[in-house]
Amino acid sequence: MLFQPLATALWVEDGAASEAEPPDLTLGDEETLRLRERLRHEGWPAPATAARFAGHALVIDDDLPHRARDAGSVIAFEQMQALRRLNYRVTFAPVHAPAPAEPVLNDLARHGIEVAVPVHWASVTDYLRDAGEQLDLVLVHRHSNAAMFFERVRELAPRAKLALAIEDLHFLREERRVALSGGSVPASAREAELRAIRAADATIVRSDHEHGLLAGEVDPRRLTLLRWIATPAPPRTGFAERRDICFVGNFRHPPNVDGVTWFVAEVLPRLRGTLPGVRLLLAGSDMPQAVHELAGEGVEVLGWVEDLAALFSRVRASVAPLRFGAGFKGKVAASLAHGLPVVGSAISLEGTGLAPGEGVAVADAPEAFARAIVHLHEDEAHWRAQSERALERVATLYAPEAAQATLRGMMQRLGLALRA
């Protein structure tokens, strides 16, 4: 088998052949025992004859999509739902395979998504050996996984079309990060990512900017722009019932930590000079100690928030002060989908398809950032206009129907069967 133990008790395929046995998940894992027993009676995944599908798609990503945890999980889930609506049987295979989290498996099962987990398959490669001949599409998230699996997919799923979904251009994010300190990124990092994109039959790109950048490097006919998937949800509360601002993000992502730290140091003092009582509410998973230490006058650290809609209904603006990064920022779409205007840096709003005044204000300098927030926080007519415009643009740019049409077009270009 192709597993090696890690200190975190995860099991990850390392790409090198090994005769080591996979972990015995039947020992000391009550949750896995319950799941195994349920699967023994019910069967998992559903057999191919359980429904008439147009085709079978395998989706590969680092981990199970925990939709309440991070934006990457949300978009992975929504893409699989779009494939389901195109009448595809969808199987998800996590590269990292701990004992499966039953609530997440149940969430996926309720939406018709099968999962190849160690209960039945020891690894992604094990699943490919078992089912590769029947696959029509293999969608791999992240270029790091492409490097690990592309050759295996070509060998074990020879008739499948191979697509890559890049959440952001890693080399672009790194170039911007080191630029803050005057460093540089090795050219090899850029070439490795481009090599993976060129090897795919199709690549899904999140950002208009990155789509344009890649169009000069690879065959543009192999690129598909699918920014985000979100459903508009009209605000629960009006302007008068709101106060303060918020930042939402996954704090394992370094740009979020850097951006919040910069905002508290550079923007918040200027903002509080005009709005003395205003508070910044920080929400998100995996907060490091450095973020917790920001708590104090004007900053409330909430940690992980289960119901973002409730948070978005409390505040008058969401902020996205990222100084480096790439790809589409899920925090922007999540805020706008709830009718909450966003003030963000140029990098935060890059590639969204949005222009200033379409629910967003662009600001990079601390003074401009503070002024834009004050305008939204204090001018009810302006806030209402931006809230309504945000919902309109989400419905146009990010609606599930638009994403489904985009995926349909990509699959037609790949020559895949589709049901009308």
Asked whether residue 252 falls in the same domain as residue 318, the answer is yes
The answer to whether residue 418 sits within a structural domain is no
> Does residue 104 have a pLDDT over 90?
no
Output phi, psi for 349, to 5 deg.
Answer: -100, 0
Contact 331, 343 (CB under 8 A): no
pLDDT value for 100: 63
Contact 160, 136 (CB under 8 A): yes
Output phi, psi for 124, to 5 deg.
Answer: -60, -45
Question: Which residues are CB-neighbours of 289 under 8 A, at least 6 positions away?
Answer: none
Distance in angstroms (rounded) separating the CA atoms of residues 284 and 307: 11
Asked whether residue 69 falls in the same domain as residue 164, the answer is yes
pLDDT band at 97; cut points 50, 70, 90: low
The answer to whether residue 40 sits within a structural domain is yes
Contact 402, 394 (CB under 8 A): no
- Asked which of 104-118, 282-296, 401-415 is least confident by mean pLDDT, the reply is 104-118
Contact 261, 294 (CB under 8 A): yes
Asked whether residue 187 falls in the same domain as residue 212, the answer is yes
Q: Which residue has the higher pLDDT, 95 or 19?
A: 95
Residue range 196-211: mean pLDDT, rounded: 96
pLDDT value for 92: 94
The answer to whether residue 129 sits within a structural domain is yes
Asked whether residue 61 falls in the same domain as residue 151, the answer is yes
Output phi, psi for 88, to 5 deg.
Answer: -100, 140
Q: What string of DSSP letters covers 73-119?
A: HHHHHHHHHHHHHTTEEEEEEESB--S--HHHHHHHHHTTEEE--TT
Q: Which residue has the higher pLDDT, 325 or 107?
A: 325
> Does residue 210 have a pLDDT over 50?
yes
pLDDT value for 16: 32
Number of domains observed in the structure of the chain = 2
Distance in angstroms (rounded) separating the CA atoms of residues 40 and 350: 48
The pair of three-digit structure tokens given for residue 271, joined into one six-digit string: 């903002």
The answer to whether residue 65 sits within a structural domain is yes
Domain enclosing residue 25, as ranges: 3-229+401-413
Q: Give per-residue pLDDT as tens, 31-78.
A: 444 444 444 444 444 444 445 799 999 999 998 888 777 778 889 999
Asked whether residue 223 falls in the same domain as residue 347, the answer is no
Asked whether residue 84 falls in the same domain as residue 112, the answer is yes
The listed range with the strongest mean pLDDT (6-15, 77-86, 118-127) is: 77-86
Number of H helices, E strands in the chain: 17, 15
Distance in angstroms (rounded) separating the CA atoms of residues 82 and 104: 19
393: CATH: 3.40.50.2000
Asked whether residue 184 falls in the same domain as residue 304, the answer is no
Contact 119, 9 (CB under 8 A): no
pLDDT value for 39: 43
Residue range 335-360: mean pLDDT, rounded: 97
pLDDT band at 260; cut points 50, 70, 90: very high
Asked whether residue 366 falls in the same domain as residue 408, the answer is no
pLDDT band at 195; cut points 50, 70, 90: very high
Asked whether residue 192 falls in the same domain as residue 97, the answer is yes
- Say whether pTM exceeds 0.85: no
Distance in angstroms (rounded) separating the CA atoms of residues 57 and 79: 11
pLDDT value for 316: 98
SS3 state at 175: helix
The answer to whether residue 234 sits within a structural domain is no
In the numeric block, the tokens 């948070």 are attached to 311
In the chain, what is the greatest distance between 2 CA atoms, to the nearest angstrom?
67
Residue range 348-357: mean pLDDT, rounded: 96
Distance in angstroms (rounded) separating the CA atoms of residues 20 and 222: 39
The pair of three-digit structure tokens given for residue 327, joined into one six-digit string: 């790809």
pLDDT value for 98: 61
pLDDT value for 306: 85
The answer to whether residue 177 sits within a structural domain is yes
Asked whether residue 290 falls in the same domain as residue 224, the answer is no
The answer to whether residue 282 sits within a structural domain is yes
Distance in angstroms (rounded) separating the CA atoms of residues 393 and 336: 8
Q: Which residue has the higher pLDDT, 330 or 4?
A: 330
> Does residue 219 have a pLDDT over 80?
yes
Contact 10, 97 (CB under 8 A): yes
pLDDT value for 60: 96
Q: Give per-residue pLDDT as tens, 5-29.
A: 222 222 233 333 332 333 333 333 4
Q: Which residue has the higher pLDDT, 357 or 29?
A: 357
Asked whether residue 220 falls in the same domain as residue 296, the answer is no
The listed range with the strongest mean pLDDT (29-38, 187-196, 294-303) is: 294-303
**Mean pLDDT for the chain overall:** 86
Asked whether residue 405 falls in the same domain as residue 380, the answer is no
- Asked which of 51-55, 300-304, 325-329 is least confident by mean pLDDT, the reply is 51-55
The answer to whether residue 103 sits within a structural domain is yes
